[in-house]
Structure 1
Amino acid sequence: MSKKASLIFRFRYLTSAVLCLFAAFSPSLFGADAVLQRLPAALLVPGGAAVVPTASDAIRGEYKGERVLLARFEGEQYAIIGIPLSAKPGLQTFTLDNRAGETETLGFSIADKAYTEQRLTIKNQRQVNPNETDMTRIQAESAEMKAAFRSWDEALAPTFSMIPPVDGVRSSSFGLKRFFNGEPRAPHSGMDIAADEGTPIVAPAAGRILATGNYFFNGNTIILDHGHGLISLYCHMNTIDVEVGRQVIAGEQIGRVGQTGRVTGPHLHWSVNLNNTRIDPALFLAD
């Protein structure tokens, strides 16, 4: 058996007759596949992405309770799945529904990855240990962003070939184990690109501005929806140059580099979310 075959298994079982009826008479209920010009780089580790070939009649997928992006590339259908940093090495499974009302379970195996540490000194102690008032704000902002990350817009055509959002130097990579003033915090969920304050920030791919705001940790922030659960985030900006609902194209300016929120200097924090999971943005940069 080939290595690919050994990583992917499948079995089918019938779901309820209700699902079958909905699939037969309301195919639009489950949406349409995206059509891609390029597949993302597969990286089967926590924080990476799985690219799994599927049966051509799949209409909806789920992984860890989140909807999966189904896409066609060169006539074949694929499930493209973001793998959370918290995922354990070994077998991962997800499900696919088809128009016949059947559910198929597929699997892929992931390896472990040892991310390095990063230790930062933050001068503003409230940015490390927020007070009660700060926590109320942080919790409200977190709920707002979580809702945005679960957006699913089938009118937008996602792309996995992106351009760098700013001209600068990568100062922090994805997945770093972070310590602020010696205290452990959540792993780094994006890529930091250092640049002079005021440097233009552009959309790395076409999309719709889903949300903007000033957040306690993230500072001035934009959330950009690329469609089908592919969403990107831009933080610590000096200015926000777009409004919610605006359609942007790749390379269009959306703001400027700043140092708002929890920072040690001017830079852009850029993250990419797929099936409500933060994964390494480097996977999306065009060769």
Structure 2
Amino acid sequence: MRRRAALALPALLLARPARALQWRGTATQGALLIGQGAAGARLALDGQPVRVSPEGYFVLGFGRDHGPRATLAVNGSPQLIEVAPRHWDTQHITGLPPAQVTPDAATLERIRVERERLAVVRGIDSAATDFASGFGWPARGRISGIYGSQRILNGQPRQPHLALDVAGPVGTPIHAACAGRVTLAAEFHFFGRLLVLDHGHGVNTLYAHLSAIDVREGQRVSAGERIAAMGATGRVTGPHLHFGVSWFRTFLDPQPLLPG
């Protein structure tokens, strides 16, 4: 299941040390860049410290609505990165029952608690560098939803869709897109049964709407290992995998990270 994506390797030349920072990927809204070459360097992106491994691995992430420029400080010296804008699809849906647009008080409280629980595991900054090996498809099927799109329900903007949806029959095997550690295995209102894997340096993958979970919290999994089965749990219109990638609490676009 797992193949390393073939991505460009831009370089940011530094005044010191002489070695360049290099990363796979393109700096766009929604992008995760996987870099190396900064062993011993101090990095910060837009003022936030960036972990650098002893081997020089690091990651940079740009959210869906990131501005046109980012500042990467290297050993205290600021360097500008141009962040290319993207166009996001918008869908207007009207005539829905109010309960489908605004949940009741008890459901809203459940959603709040679940969001806090998810934020905790997505905030983990482990020293692992599993992300450096790249990502593979967690499942194959029809792409039924893309990152960045947004629905307007009865005139009310909803949160943008911050994942990639892969549709298929209930029971379709789901595999770990990258080696990592299971930090969350639970059932949420919107996501249904879900898993979160930590791949190091704040990089996480999320697998939602599962019909079955085959692993437990704290378990170490290998890239390509079966971890769950596709389902239709939570708020869905049909069986599919909701596959998310995040850098700490910023959801990013999974699709550019996956093999063609």
Quick one: distance in 2 between partners of 1:233 and 1:52?
22
Deviation at 1:56, TM superposition (A): 4.4
Distance 1:191 1:158 in 2: 18
Instruction: Tell which structure's C-alpha radius of gyration is larger.
Output: 1
Q: Which amino acid aligns with 1:62?
A: A
Q: TM-score scaled by structure 1?
A: 0.75
CA shift at 1:117, angstroms? Answer: 2.0
Q: State TM-score, norm by structure 2.
A: 0.82
- Which structure 2 residues correspond to residues 45-124 of structure 1 after superposition, within 5 A? 45-50=28-33, 55-58=38-41, 60-64=42-46, 66-70=48-52, 77=56, 79-89=58-68, 91-97=69-75, 103-119=76-92
Indicate how the Cα distance of structure 1 residues 125 and 198 shifts in structure 2: closer, same or farther if over 3 A, else same.
farther
Aligned mates of 1:122, 1:45 — CA distance in 2: 35
- Structure 1 counterpart of 2:140: 167
- How far has the Cα of 1:51 moved from its partner? 5.9
What percent of counterpart residues are identical?
32
Q: What is the letter of the counterpart of residue 250 of structure 2?
A: T
Q: 2:127 aligned to 154, 175, 186, which one?
A: 154
Deviations 1:84-132 (A, max 9, x none): 112122x2113345xxxxx232320112211112456897854531111
Question: What is the CA distance between 1:262 and its match in structure 2?
Answer: 1.3
Question: How many residues are paired up?
Answer: 246
- Given that 2:23 and 2:36 are in contact with CA atoms closer than 8 Å, whether structure 1 keeps it comes out as no
Residue 40 of structure 1 corresponds to 24
The alpha-carbon deviation at position 233 of structure 1 amounts to 0.3
Give the Cα separation in 2 of the matches to 1:195 and 1:256. 10
The structural deviation recorded for 1:62 is: 3.1
The amino acid of 2:44's aligned partner reads E
Gaps of 5+ in 1: 13-37, 98-102
Distance 1:206 1:52, change over 3 A: closer
Q: How does 1:137-148 map to 2 (within 5 A)?
A: 137-148=110-121
On the 8 A contact 1:157/1:228 being kept in 2, the answer is no
Aligned pair in 2 of structure 1 residues 92, 189: CA closer, same or farther (>3 Å)?
same
- Matches of 2:250 and 2:177, distance apart in 1: 19
Contact 1:127–1:217 under 8 Å retained in 2: no
Instruction: Show the 5 A alignment for 1:149-228.
Output: 149-180=122-153, 183-228=156-201
Q: Could you tell me how far apart the structure 2 residues matched to 1:286 and 1:246 are?
A: 26
In structure 2, distance between residues paired with 1:181 and 1:256: 33
- For 2:238 and 2:105, locate their aligned partners in 1 and report how far apart those are by CA, in whole Å: 26
Distance 1:79 1:161, change over 3 A: closer
Greater Cα offset, 229-238 or 269-278: 269-278
Aligned-residue CA RMSD (Å): 2.9
